Amino acid sequence: MPVPGTGIRRVRESDLAAVVGLVHELAAYERAPLECQLSRGQLRRALFGPQPALFGHVAEVGDTVVGCALWFLNYSTWKGSHGIYLEDLYVQPEYRGRGLGRGLLAALAAESCQRGFGRLEWSVLDWNMTAIRFYEALGARPLDEWQTFRLSGDALSALGRAVEPAGSDG
């Protein structure tokens, strides 16, 4: 249970600068600060644009946003239901141990249950043993038989160029 003076709530447009800052802090923590290019405008469009594809919660201490969970919907064809994919979970180091990370995950678990979603999933770097132990203590289990693959940059562009234009009958 979070300590008094702390709370978890849905992200608001007024939180954008704080959340962008937290995402950049997370990138630095994950040893990839130069890979994070998120801007306030990009986050605003994703969270509050005409067709939001990203959702979020924040953790507060007093009136200060000190953590966030950014997530989107996925779909399991095997379960026949949506789920939540947690893209980013971050609480500033000086505020850890107060139940805020657990509170953010609990909010997503509640969201999943209320909407009839079948699962809540995320990835964690294999060297982040503190996070792994935290997740396992909550009852989460790694999917050891699965590997994450990613296409990006030149490889993504090359594969995308391999598609015949729409309407082409070959």
Catalytically annotated residues = 135
b/e map 107-117, b = 16+ CB within 10 Å: bbeebbeeeeb
Give kind and range of the element (H or E) at residue 97: none
Find how far residue 10's CA is from the centre of its chain: 13
For 31, 84, 139, 168, the CA distances from 25, given in Å and listed in that order, are: 10, 23, 27, 46
